[in-house]
Structure 1
Amino acid sequence: MPGPRTLSRLLVLHSWAGIVTGLLLFIVCFSGAVVVFKHEIDLWANPSLARLPRSERPAALATVLAQLQTHYPGATVESIALPDAVNPNYFAWVRGPGANARTKLALRSDTGAVVGPVDSQLGQYLRMLHVFLFFGPRWIVGFLGVSMLVLIGTGVVIHRKILAELFTLRWDRSPRVLLSDLHKCTGVWGLGFHILIAATGAWMGLAPLFEQGYEYLTTGATTAAAATQHGTAPAAMQSLDALHAAAQQAMPGLQTQHVSLRRWGSSSAEAGFSGKLGGHLASTARVDLDAVTGRLNKLHDPRTRGFWSLLNSLMEPLHFGDYGGLTLKWLYFILGLTPALMSISGTLIWLMHRGSPAVR
């Protein structure tokens, strides 16, 4: 059991870690709680899209691509999002002539016809706020995940009588004491969820830094040399639907959510199909095919790539709660608000402590 001096130091660490990161933690945690409804928010913000018919047999990908190329000749189609349980439409991102900068377009799922640019991307803006703080690198949010783990760890040690504090609310004491009790109860009741969110957020924010550093040290020169070897001569593309079928054959169980097109129309064109795996929590499955020959270029199946790849594939669904339907989303939303509230209550407790003598 830690001695009084150790507990005092942990309390100082807990207090200052909360004060330094409190505002950013509130922003990240609050936006994260809301962003579990990203797709629902996007539909709510675009009521005309929500009224479009849902097709049990969506239009062929080749039809969608042809519609885009007809309406935006000369533009580069970068990716296509397929309809899902929430969103009844196709979405596509195009760049270049006829489309100002990078534009998100909606298309009908039944015919593939272009509806037009999406008016509001409120859900995506909230996700950008949560993941990148709009313009920051993702490692900042990863660092906040580490900070949250430090706060959790020090808080558990400081409040050793954790079970006794499950129902400790001293309503007859001073506001500071009551606020402190609420702070501790919220932390105890949400402890497991807070650890899950902090650990997965830290992993997703910081793991890419280590991966990129390792790749740079081990394969940087080779990758740089390979990047200059892409052919740019025009070439005939295979049907996007034929490539999709080949991707699903290469990875049984793939439930495609996004299609990415790289260097489309050239001899080095690639089509990437990414999404979830049927009956599996992993969300980073991907198949890359040569769009000219249909040859398999790369396959990322978390089920067969070892423990660390499988673990990495679980981080996003566990963090955002998009694997269990609407009920789980509401649970993530309610629990996700608690660390945001704790950042406020912790700051208020600190300010009360600095501004007046402790009330016991």
Structure 2
Amino acid sequence: MSAMKKITQMAFALHSWLGLISGIFLLLLGLSGSALVFMKEIDQQLNADRLQVHPAGPALPLDKLYRQIAGRHPNLAGIAWLNPDAPADRAWEFRLYQNDGKLSTYDLGMISINPYTGEIIREGRLRDFNPSLMHWILQFHWSFQLGIPGLLLATIFGMTMLLSMLTGLIIYRKYVWRVLLFRVPIKGKNWRTRTSSLHRVIGIWTLLFNVIIFFTGFWMNMFSMDPGYWKKQLTPAAANTLSTHSMDSLLAEAKGAMPGLMIRNIYLPTQPGKDFRISGMLHGELPLFHNGNSVSVDPISGKRSSLQRFEDLGFWAKLESTFMPLHTGSFGNTGVKVFYVILGLLPGLMSITGALLFFRRRFS
């Protein structure tokens, strides 16, 4: 037996077992990920009446809402304002970073506020269907709603998918160019050969997309493999230590340090040692780099502590700033997002066809 044939057989065995073990999880990741491509649109549609507000003069000071949230949740690791670029008739959305000291929970929460009245529109933990189905799906996608172990599990399945694609490339290496040139039709004399043909063609056509999706997901979740992170999660968040400066003054300081920044996210500190931070993109930059610029302000002194421009980043840092947009499809228009939805469902289809082929060979 030649060395290449032996490698192919080993790759086939590994490919089969990887797909079988992780198949159901990949199907769940694909379904949830495809739904999340249109997360904002679906969430707005499902909650249109609740999240639409009626402007009545200027919005309340950000600092007032910051202290309102902190008063309702006295032990926060931090707060993120998710939609500072929202239109005037939309509620403001805030993510709550929490820590109850238990590994079994992935402690994210949310709160939506009418910025003109301070009314709480919805509030709760992302592990609950209420306040938001789409935010529940978001946390499910990252951790299967299994807490920190689930986060690690999702990371591991990202690695298994990458290995599965590598072994699949070894197995079907002779078909790559023929498939890409449409010289391998999906056909066969029976369901087994048709399923095998479908599995091969879909796998080759979606290879690059899947590498991008699963590598970026693995990389962004890689912190779950750090023992120090697990240890940190066993310590509940301390009582809030709020800034002595108003959030509005810190925001003005940050904006002044980088005029023209289109702000996409604002981090509001609630613990010592954490800075106020804004991030976004500058005019002329591609949406793929939407968080490549940032300004941090010390909440104690009220002065700028750091400034980062995308153009000054090194190659890897620039590349890394694209991982979230590439993973979610948020950089594109509706057509790009539909493309992401369709291709995002295919790994699940691949796992089904792979399982059918495995059991057919195993028990026939």
Q: TM-score range by the shorter chain?
A: 0.7 to 0.9
TM-score by length of 1: 0.77
Q: What is the Cα deviation at residue 275 of structure 1?
A: 3.2
Q: Structure 1's 11 and 130: CA in aligned 2 closer, same or farther, altered over 3 A?
A: same
Percent identity, aligned pairs only, is 25
1:191 correspondence with 2:207? yes
Q: What is the Cα deviation at residue 253 of structure 1?
A: 4.9
Matching residue of 1:10: 11
Matching residue of 1:116: 121
Whole-Å Cα distance in 2 between the matches of residues 4 and 42 of structure 1? 51
Q: Partner amino acid for 2:143?
A: F
Aligned residue-pair number: 331
Q: Partner amino acid for 1:17?
A: L
Whole-Å Cα distance in 2 between the matches of residues 287 and 355 of structure 1? 61
1:88 correspondence with 2:90? yes
Matching residue of 2:102: none
Whole-Å Cα distance in 2 between the matches of residues 259 and 247 of structure 1? 10
Q: Structure 1's 38 and 262: CA in aligned 2 closer, same or farther, altered over 3 A?
A: same
Counterpart contact for 1:132–1:141, Cα < 8 Å: yes
The DSSP-based 3-state class of the residue aligned with 2:297 is strand
Whole-Å Cα distance in 2 between the matches of residues 182 and 149 of structure 1? 20
Matching residue of 2:144: 133
Partner of residue 163 from structure 1, selected from 174, 177, 186: 177
Whole-Å Cα distance in 2 between the matches of residues 54 and 331 of structure 1? 36
Unaligned 5+ residue runs, structure 2? 99-106, 124-129, 233-237
Partner of residue 361 from structure 2, selected from 338, 346, 353: 353
TM-score by length of 2: 0.76
Matching residue of 2:101: none
Q: Structure 1's 46 and 325: CA in aligned 2 closer, same or farther, altered over 3 A?
A: same
Q: Partner amino acid for 2:277?
A: F
Whole-Å Cα distance in 2 between the matches of residues 342 and 299 of structure 1? 44
The DSSP-based 3-state class of the residue aligned with 2:139 is helix
1:257 correspondence with 2:264? yes
1:61 correspondence with 2:68? no
Whole-Å Cα distance in 2 between the matches of residues 95 and 83 of structure 1? 18
Q: What is the Cα deviation at residue 88 of structure 1?
A: 2.3
The DSSP-based 3-state class of the residue aligned with 2:23 is helix
Unaligned 5+ residue runs, structure 1? 221-229
Counterpart contact for 2:275–2:297, Cα < 8 Å: yes
Q: What is the Cα deviation at residue 144 of structure 1?
A: 1.8
1:152-231 counterparts in 2 under 5 A? 152-159=165-172, 160-165=174-179, 166=182, 168-206=184-222, 209=225
Whole-Å Cα distance in 1 between the matches of residues 72 and 196 of structure 2? 62
Q: Cα deviations across residues 73-99 of structure 1 (Å, max 9, x unaligned)?
A: 785784233344689220235799xxx
Q: Structure 1's 74 and 38: CA in aligned 2 closer, same or farther, altered over 3 A?
A: closer
The DSSP-based 3-state class of the residue aligned with 1:273 is strand
Whole-Å Cα distance in 2 between the matches of residues 68 and 205 of structure 1? 28
The alignment yields a C-alpha RMSD, in angstroms, of 3.8
